[in-house]
A = this chain, B = another copy of it.
Amino acid sequence: MKKLINDPKTVVDESVEGFGLAHADLVRVSPDPLFVARAGGATTGRVGIVSGGGSGHEPLHAGFVGHGMLSAAVPGPVFTSPTPDPIVAATLAVDGGAGVLHIVKNYTGDVLNFETAADLADAEGVRVVSVIVDDDVAVKDSLFTAGRRGVAGTVFVEKVAGAAAERGDDLDAVAAVATKANSVTRTMGVALQAGIVPHAGEPSFVLADDEIEIGIGIHGEPGRERVTLEPADRIVDRLIGPILDDLPFSSGDQVLLFVNGMGGTPLVEQYIVYRRAAQVLAEKGIEVSRSLVGNYVTSLEMQGVSITVAKLDAELTELWDAPVETASLRWGR
């Protein structure tokens, strides 16, 4: 294993410390319990939004803390849920009196720990509503998951919920926006090569030199099938088909098309994937009205991508377009 780290045990603490140093204009890091919150603190009367989960998916979630998106992010150990303590601390820190939304990727550990944290925060007088993200169409249940996994669609949910909170929606309304966003979002991924978890020291899984895994999870959980490497366009067809069939999406829909790099796949390849996905949507009369391409929900240095399609209505489009100021997502308009 070759990594730019000092010690597998200190990877997350040191990385988050560096994140805080690099983005001191945007965020403050609480080292113990570990969470990242907006530099400005809680805004009175505004709904707070907290997300989190295992580290190794950066920029998710800390890279999305800031005006118009998350109020705080709680990074756990690599690929391991944070415990309830830091989630509670983050929740109390960002409450401005209007309650706090928890956005939770559907992994059993995350769901349990956020649930416990919500109860503890409630006991402290902070009302919490939780929305579970489960956008991955690849498999019904998975390692670590009852039901579908929460993957790249989390970025969309966090963005629109953050914009709803920023415009002054109350907690139930922000939760309704997040729930709606999740309900119209579908994702599927592919891996060409696994990443290496620092404390494990070896790849999470092994694919043969000519093998890829369709429907991979963001921790390397098994997908639908392993197939022989094919041209990119064929691989995209294998991903986009199940995505479109699932909602289903249909002619006349306006969508966000989001190609997400898993960490080790260069942009030059991600745009080849985007090209084919856009072609398929055009052939089906589905209009791509918004797009996103890049490494947003990664799996360390895993080589692969996921494709996310989210059906937009006027409200979701407006919320997606609203200004945001975070380390890893900033809006020009």
**A interface residues (Cβ-Cβ under 8 A, vs B):** 2-7, 11-12, 14-19, 21-23, 55-56, 58-59, 63, 66-67, 78, 190, 192-193, 195, 209-210, 212, 229, 231-233, 235, 257, 259, 263-276, 278, 288, 291, 293-295, 298, 300-301, 303-305, 323-328, 330-333
The reply to whether A15 and B268 contact each other, CB–CB distance below 8 Å, is yes
Q: List 30 A-B contacts (CB under 8 A).
A: A2-B212, A2-B229, A4-B232, A4-B269, A5-B232, A5-B269, A5-B272, A7-B231, A14-B271, A14-B272, A15-B268, A16-B271, A17-B275, A18-B272, A18-B278, A18-B293, A21-B291, A22-B293, A78-B268, A263-B264, A263-B266, A264-B264, A266-B298, A266-B301, A267-B298, A268-B300, A293-B327, A294-B328, A325-B332, A330-B332
CA distance A6 to B230 in the complex (A): 8
> A195's closest neighbor in chain B, by CB?
B266
Interface centre among A3, A267, A304, by most chain B C-beta atoms within 10 angstroms, is: A267
> A328's closest neighbor in chain B, by CB?
B294
A250 to chain B, nearest CB (A): 21
The reply to whether B331 and A330 contact each other, CB–CB distance below 8 Å, is yes
Known: A11-B272, A271-B19, A301-B264. A2 touches B231 (CB 8 A): no
Q: Which residues of B sit under 8 angstroms from A259, Cβ to Cβ? A: 22
> A55's closest neighbor in chain B, by CB?
B268
In the A-B complex, the 4 residue pairs with the smallest Cβ-Cβ separation, listed nearest first, are: A18-B275, A325-B332, A18-B271, A58-B267
Q: Which residues of B sit under 8 angstroms from A195, Cβ to Cβ? A: 266
CB < 8 Å: which of B6, B67, B291 contacts A23? B291
CA distance A304 to B4 in the complex (A): 8
A199 to chain B, nearest CB (A): 12
CB < 8 Å: which of B190, B269, B275, B276 contacts A3? B269
CA distance A16 to B67 in the complex (A): 32
A160 to chain B, nearest CB (A): 18
CB < 8 Å: which of B4, B63, B270, B303 contacts A192? B4
Q: State the number of copies, please.
A: 2
> A291's closest neighbor in chain B, by CB?
B22
A254 to chain B, nearest CB (A): 14
Known: A209-B2, A332-B323. A268 touches B231 (CB 8 A): no
CA distance A323 to B323 in the complex (A): 13
The reply to whether B235 and A4 contact each other, CB–CB distance below 8 Å, is yes
CA distance A298 to B19 in the complex (A): 20
CA distance A4 to B192 in the complex (A): 8
The reply to whether B332 and A18 contact each other, CB–CB distance below 8 Å, is no
A60 to chain B, nearest CB (A): 10
Known: A16-B271, A18-B273, A268-B58. A231 touches B6 (CB 8 A): yes
The reply to whether B266 and A14 contact each other, CB–CB distance below 8 Å, is no
CA distance A324 to B330 in the complex (A): 11
CA distance A91 to B310 in the complex (A): 38
